[in-house]
DNA sequence: GCCAACGTTGGC
DNA sequence: GCCAACGTTGGC
């Protein structure tokens, strides 16, 4: 079993929204590295740290899990969608998604500022300068440490 | 295939 | 709202 961190802007889709909907197709990922993680490495049952980005207090706010294998992201074919990609063909979809299932909301936000202070997390992709991945791997050690901060 | 211009992400 | 970082695009 692997672990992941997935970013979402709370104004777009928050942990509360996921709690309400129970699960959500993670559409709109348009970054090849993130897509490759979803396509090649994510398995049903993998753990997910749900992260709020681009907001007042960025940080890990909940736990989720992968509940589907990767499949083509339908928004890439929808001209009305923000995520439309005219260059992607149905016979050969460029973008994939996985479905993310709600597990629980943390009692408090484990903030980015806190994570940055932990020497053990020095190499964690999230806190490395300039990182813009919206989906990234988390090691077992990193997962355990982050969870323990709750 | 290089690289400048441009767009996006996301913390602050 | 600013801006650093970085991915993508497109002219050459």
Note whether A89 and A75 are within 8 A (CB): no
Ranges of each domain in chain A: 3-148
Note whether A93 and A35 are within 8 A (CB): no
**Interatomic CA–C1' length for residue A43 and nucleotide C1, angstroms:** 40
Quick check: A32 CB within 7 A of strand C? Answer: yes
Strand C bases, protein C-beta under 7 A: 5-8
Q: How big is the CA angle at A26 (ends A19 and A144), to the nearest 5 degrees? A: 65
Q: Which CATH architecture has domain A3-148?
A: Roll (3.10)
Q: Both tokens of residue A50?
A: 């749900």
Q: For A42-97, write each residue's pLDDT tens digit.
A: 999 999 999 999 999 999 999 999 999 999 999 999 988 889 888 888 888 999 99
Q: For A26-46, write each residue's pLDDT tens digit.
A: 999 999 999 999 999 999 999
**Interatomic CA–C1' length for residue A11 and nucleotide B4, angstroms:** 34
Query: Which residue has its C-alpha nearest to nucleotide B12's C1'?
Result: A56
Note whether A72 and A95 are within 8 A (CB): yes
CA distance A4 to A97: 14
Q: Three-state DSSP class for A99?
A: strand
């Amino acid at each position: 079993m692997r672990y992941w961190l997935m970013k979402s802007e709370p104004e777009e889709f928050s942990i509360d929204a996921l709690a309400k909907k129970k699960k959500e197709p993670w559409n709109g990922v348009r970054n090849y590295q993130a897509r490759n993680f979803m396509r090649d490495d994510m398995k049903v049952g993998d753990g997910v740290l749900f992260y709020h980005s681009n907001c007042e207090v960025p940080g890990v706010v909940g736990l989720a899990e992968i509940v589907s294998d990767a499949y083509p992201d339908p928004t890439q074919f929808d001209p009305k969608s923000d995520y439309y990609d005219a260059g992607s063909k149905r016979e050969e979809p460029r973008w994939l998604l996985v479905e993310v299932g709600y597990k629980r909301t943390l009692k408090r936000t484990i903030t980015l500022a806190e994570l940055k202070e932990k020497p053990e997390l020095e190499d964690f992709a999230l806190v490395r300068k300039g990182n813009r991945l919206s989906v990234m791997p988390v090691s077992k050690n990193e997962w355990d440490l982050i969870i323990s901060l709750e």
